């Protein structure tokens, strides 16, 4: 059973690698970003609320995100393990996740941190925005999201480093190369 979190700056390949890790380890990948985008597209009340924040490059408020994650982690498909992508992003969310997991006497096994240079990420995200027509990815918003990551999310990594469960992997390079580095780094944790 592997309960893990993938964390890294926007554009570091978390979504791509999360689906590959999920497939290889036989665990469900849970992406808050995908859930938010689906709700925005369907114009649900949650989607309309989330869209205001997403369009500005801001994080969706903890209250909305925490309830969504709590509900998702109550589903049967997480029993063999899970990989969270996009949560927690703040230390308050770390505390909430600890509380959610404690209710079922669980805890995270590993936090996989993808690392990457900011300027490379800006180039990557601008390219993705052009390819996919993503309105939420212009240079101003991308740099704002990177700033938020550095301001808030790095504190999350520090909290997990104190617990000794962070594994860092370079997120730049060919997708297969990054996947191979990740799987090699996870061998000792998931064995």
Where are the alpha helices (H) located in 73-174, listed in sequence order? 91-102, 118-132, 139-148, 154-163
**190 belongs to a structural domain:** no
pLDDT in the model for residue 45:
81
Q: Which is more confident, 71 or 114?
A: 114
Query: Residue 136: its pLDDT value, please?
Result: 66
Whether 187 is covered by a domain: the verdict is no
Both structure tokens of 36: 């938010």
pLDDT for res 63: 82
What average pLDDT does range 78-104 have in this prediction? Answer: 92
Residue 96 located in a structural domain = yes
For residue 16, say whether it is annotated as part of any ligand binding site: yes
Is 70 among the domain residues? yes
For 149, counting Cβ atoms within 10 Å of its Cβ (0-12 exposed, 13-18 middle, 19+ buried), the class is buried
Is residue 157 one of the residues assigned to a domain?
yes
Q: Is 47 annotated as a binding residue?
A: no
Query: What pLDDT score does 19 carry?
Result: 93
Question: Has residue 185 been placed in a domain?
Answer: no
| HSE-up (13 A, CA, CB side) for residue 57 | 17
* Domains identified in the chain, total number: 1
Catalytic residues: 14, 89, 128, 134, 145
Which of 73, 57, 52, 26 is CA-nearest to residue 144? Answer: 57
Query: pLDDT tens digit string along 56-76?
Result: 878 778 887 887 788 788 889
Q: Which domain holds residue 152?
A: 2-180
Q: How far is CA 41 from the centre of its chain?
A: 20
Summarised one tens digit per residue, pLDDT across range 35-53 is 777 778 888 887 888 888 8
* 176 labelled ligand-binding: no
CATH classification at residue 53: 3.40.50.300
Rounded alpha-carbon distances, angstroms, from residue 68 to 46, 74, 96, 112: 10, 10, 12, 22
In a domain, 191, yes or no: no
Measured CA angle at 5 (ends 40, 132), to 5 deg: 40
Q: Is 14 annotated as a binding residue?
A: yes
Q: Report the predicted TM-score, pTM, of the whole model to 2 decimal places.
A: 0.84
For residue 15, say whether it is annotated as part of any ligand binding site. Answer: yes
- 129-177 pLDDT, tens digit per residue, is 888 877 767 899 899 989 988 888 889 999 999 999 999 999 999 999 9
Q: Tell me if 189 is assigned to some domain.
A: no
């Amino acid at each position: 059973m592997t309960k893990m979190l993938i964390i890294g700056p926007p554009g570091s390949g978390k979504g791509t690698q999360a689906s590959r890790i999920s497939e290889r380890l036989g665990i469900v990948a849970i992406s808050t970003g995908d859930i938010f985008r689906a709700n925005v597209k369907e114009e649900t009340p949650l989607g309309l609320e989330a869209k205001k924040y997403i369009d500005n490059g801001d994080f969706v408020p903890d209250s909305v995100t925490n309830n969504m994650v709590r509900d998702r982690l109550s589903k049967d498909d997480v029993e063999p393990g899970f990989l969270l992508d996009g949560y927690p992003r703040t230390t308050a969310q770390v505390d909430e996740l600890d509380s959610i997991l404690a209710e079922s006497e669980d805890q995270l096994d590993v936090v996989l941190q993808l690392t990457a240079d900011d300027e490379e990420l800006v180039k990557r995200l601008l390219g993705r925005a052009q390819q996919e027509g993503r309105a939420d990815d212009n240079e101003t918003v991308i740099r704002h999201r990177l700033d938020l990551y550095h301001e808030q999310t790095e504190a999350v990594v520090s909290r997990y480093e104190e617990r000794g469960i962070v594994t860092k992997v370079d997120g730049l390079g060919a997708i297969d190369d990054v996947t191979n580095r990740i799987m090699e780094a996870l061998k000792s944790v998931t064995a």
